[in-house]
Every structure is written in C-alpha cells, then in structure tokens.
Amino acid sequence: MNITMIAGTFYLIFLFCGVGYRGTSLLTAMIVILYVGLAGGGIPIQRAGYGSVLVLIAVLAGRPSSLLNSLCFAFFAILIGNPESLWNVGFQLSFLCVLSLILILPLFTRLTFWTLSLGSSLAVLCGTFPVVLYYFNIFSPVSVFANIVAIPLCDAALFVALFSILFHPVPFLNLALVRLASGLVGILLSWVRLLSTWRWGYWFLERPPLARLFAYYAALALLLFFYRRIFRGKRIVMVGLACLCLGLSVSFVTEGRARSFEVTFLASGRNQLAHARFQNGDDWLVNAGRSFPSDQGEWLIAPYLRCRGVQRLEGIWLTDHSGKHVGGLASVLRDFPVRHLIYPDLSAGSPEFYKVLRKLGRRAKRFQFGDSLSMDFENLSLIAQSDKGGATLIESGPWRILLIPRWDAAIFFELLEGKDDKEIHAVYLPPSGQGIPDDFYAWIDKVKPLLVVLPESQPDILASLALRGIPWFDLKTTGAMNFKRKGSRLEIVAFLKGPLGFYTFV
C-alpha cells in the first residue's frame, strides 16, 4: 500500500509537471528504489518495490504491464538474493495475499467502490487462512469486517500524511494535514481494538495436517484454472470444485479433536504447570504460573493453550496458594473462559488471589484432602495435603500421574501412610532449594514410580533415583513432556527430544 501510494502520487505529480511518460517512469522508479531502502528493505517492501519497478520499466519500453508477471519477477528476484526467504512466513503470506488479489478477486463480480474492500478481504482470507492457521493456530473471520472500515481509513491516512510532507513549508496547512492523518490513525486503531475484544471474531485451533493444506490449494488452483476456460460440462466441474474448496475450508475449523487422555508438563522453570485433557473433551489447567518477573499466564500458558486449540477451560486446579502458582490467574481468566476454579483449603493466600476468588464467586470451589473430580472414567484427586499445599493425582483407567508441588514433610508423611498401593507411572517432583524430608526416600522405596520428572537436574535426588534404578527426566533438558494414552499404551513425547518411548499396560 505504501509503495502504491508513493509511486502513484509521484507519477501523477511528474506528469502534471510535464515531464513525459518515460521520464516520469524513470524518476518514479528511482524514488521507489530509494523508498525501499529507507523503509528497511523488508520482504513485503521488496516485493512491492520489485513489482512497481517492473511495471515502470514496462512503461519505459512501451510494453503492457502484467501484475502476475511483476509478482513472479519479485518472487524470483528475492529468492535469488536470499533463497532462505522461501521458508519465511512473512514471505509466504506477503505473496499469497497479492496472488489472491490478482487471481481470486476477479471471481467476485460486480464490485463497486464501496464493496471493493469487502471483496479484497474475502479474496485474501480465502488465499491465506490455511497458512495462517498452520503457523499461528488462529482463524479470524472478523478481519473481513474489520477491513471494510480499516482499509479506507488506512488509505486516507497514508494519502494525507504524504501530502503533509509535500506541503511541509506551508505552516498552517502542514499542521492541519498532520493532525488529520493522526486523527484517522486514531480512529483506525480504535476500530481494530474494538473488534479484537469480540470472542467470536477469532478462533484458536490446532495445526492442520500439511496434506489438507495441499488438498485445499490444489482444489483452489484447479478452480481458478478452469474459471477462464470454455469447455463442455464446465458448470458441473466448477460447482464440484467450489464444493470441494468449501468442504475443505469448513473442515479446517470444525474438525473435532481426537478424544484421548493426555497430560503435558510445561517447562516453566521453578514452578509446576500442567495441562490435562480428558477423554470427555474437558481441558484442565493445573496451576496458573507466576506473574513476576514475567507473567507466565500471558507469555507461556496462553500461547500453549491456543496452539492446542483450546477455546475454553473446564477448570483450573491449584495445588497451593503460592505466588509462583497463582500469579498468572488474572491473565488466564482474561484470555479464556473458565468454568471452575478448584483450590485447596489453606489458610494463607495473597490479596490478589482472594481478589480473583471474589470475582469468580460460585465458580471457585474449595477442596480438601480426599476430594476428587470425576470426568467419566477419569479423575483429579487431592490425595495428600499439608498447611502449605497438596499432592494431585491424575488418573485415566490404569494410568496414574502424580504431581507434588513442594518438599513438605507432611505431604510425604501422608503419602507414605496412605493405603493406596497402586502403581504410579509418573511423578512430577518440585524444584530444589528446599530441604528434602526423610519420608521422601521412604516413600520412593515403597512406591517405586516408573518415571520421575524434575523441573531441573537435582544431583542429590538423581543419586537416590539412580541407586534405586528409577529413570528420570528434567524439563530443562527435554522441554515440555506430553503423556498421551493410546489404547493400552501411554506414549511419552518431549518438546525438544521428540518421542521418548511408551509404557504398555498388561
């Protein structure tokens, strides 16, 4: 848009001054090249710059210009300079946007000045939404309505700002143009900010498979190819391809998630964060992270949940009231609808935590030792508790995963004295820095879990685990760890290390 505005304005000015078509084209091409350098030379600017220069060269040579040829020229010119740009998401989306305007926009017939923004937005959405969904896990239909107002406002602001530069020597006119451009930008930002608060306007979905992306673009390419061809049975072929494109488009946003049990331990430093997805489709978050020095609710939990296609949380389960586990609550509650907040019956708590409880009202429920939540054949249970926190057991059929939030002697004493003699398949231990109670070693000898997960490597713990032959992983090395149930198997995958193996229940 900037390149079009700059090139078009100077082209008209030079023609108005009587320079002539060829002289005007040469001068405008030089200005475009200068502007590309001043603007930083990003991929979208390079694409527009190469395309504009090629169109201006066509005028110099007396040849008709072709938008598609200029786009292809810019495509290969950028790749010759930097072949790795092909894998840059900005490069892909920039060319897809313009290609969509060139090829798809003509399909929307009878466009007027007032419907051009709507048609342009629909064309770009059709051409780019699978790629946006693949890279960013977001589908944003509200952009179509946003652009109806945003594009004319942006055009007007750029046009007025350009003339404020040209009329810089004129005191009152320059100031009036600057304020008008600023006012238009302010209205534009207010409009975008308003639409960004509409929950129905954007959906976070799981990444689609590459095969579906290729199928969609293949069907769209065939539709565009046959659109300009004349042959017998064209209407049937076009209707069939249009239905195929529509069906694939709907499948991107409506395909249901696989209903399988899985638990993910997030690599969140010295605190415990976990996400549990049960077979009934409920998503539960265990703890909400800290708020200082970084807000993990905003910078860790929200991006992760969006990447997993989570639209809402059935609940948040807190293991204690400490700041490292409740600090991110406000951010999570702001970004996701939460049906329940379950917290242990403890005396201590920060003012911010009690403020959240008052806000949630009846959605916040206090749990104590022995209480459990049932999701059909799966459970979340508080199986041990002290005055500082509680141990949480996540169960799905035979599989049992335990989270222990702190090195508290009372917690390990209750675990040791408990009558639960079932196998523990994975236990998530707290970070180092606190004294390890003697009951921990007695409990490890009694339970002998199949796997121990640590936030970081802890030499004193590792030595005792090695002595007992218990395997372990630390999240600082593996990244987030995912335990997923597939039939009789519990598969383990690490974010940084990939598949780590699986357990089979016999």
Q: pLDDT tens across 241-297, in order?
A: 999 999 998 888 876 556 789 999 999 988 999 999 999 889 999 999 998 888 999
Percent of the chain at pLDDT exceeding 90: 37
Q: What is the mean pLDDT of residues 58-85?
A: 85
Q: Where are the domains of the chain?
A: 1-103, 211-254, 262-504
Query: How far is 213 from 298, CA to CA, in rounded Å?
Result: 30
For 126-144, write each residue's pLDDT tens digit.
999 999 999 988 888 888 8
Q: Is the pLDDT of residue 2 over 80?
A: no
For 286-311, write each residue's pLDDT tens digit.
999 998 888 999 999 999 998 888 88
Q: pTM (2 decimals)?
A: 0.75
Query: How far is 176 from 182, CA to CA, in rounded Å?
Result: 10
Query: How far is 240 from 234, CA to CA, in rounded Å?
Result: 10
* Residue 499, preceding peptide bond in cis (omega within 30° of 0): no
**Residue 18 confidence class, pLDDT cut points 50, 70, 90:** confident
Please choose, from the candidates 260, 261, 206, 274, the residue with its C-alpha nearest in 3D space to the C-alpha of residue 475: 274
Q: Is the pLDDT of residue 200 over 80?
A: no
Helix (H) / strand (E) containing 310: none
Q: Is the pLDDT of residue 489 over 70?
A: yes
Per-residue confidence (pLDDT) for residue 444, from 0 to 100: 92
Q: Is 25 helix (H, G, I), strand (E, B) or coil?
A: helix
232: tokens are: 């017998």
Q: CA torsion 176→182→187→192, rounded to 10°?
A: 160
What does the mean pLDDT of the chain come to?
87
Q: Is the pLDDT of residue 346 over 80?
A: no
181: tokens are: 């451009």
CATH classification number, 262-504, choose in 1.10.287.3510, 3.60.15.10, 3.30.70.1150, 3.40.50.1970:
3.60.15.10
Query: How far is 227 from 288, CA to CA, in rounded Å?
Result: 52
Q: CA torsion 169→171→174→178, rounded to 10°?
A: 130
DSSP 399-459: EEEEE--S--HHHHHHHHHS---S--SEEEPPPSSSPPPHHHHHHHHHH--S-EEESS--H
Per-residue confidence (pLDDT) for residue 85, from 0 to 100: 87
Q: Is the pLDDT of residue 230 over 80?
A: yes
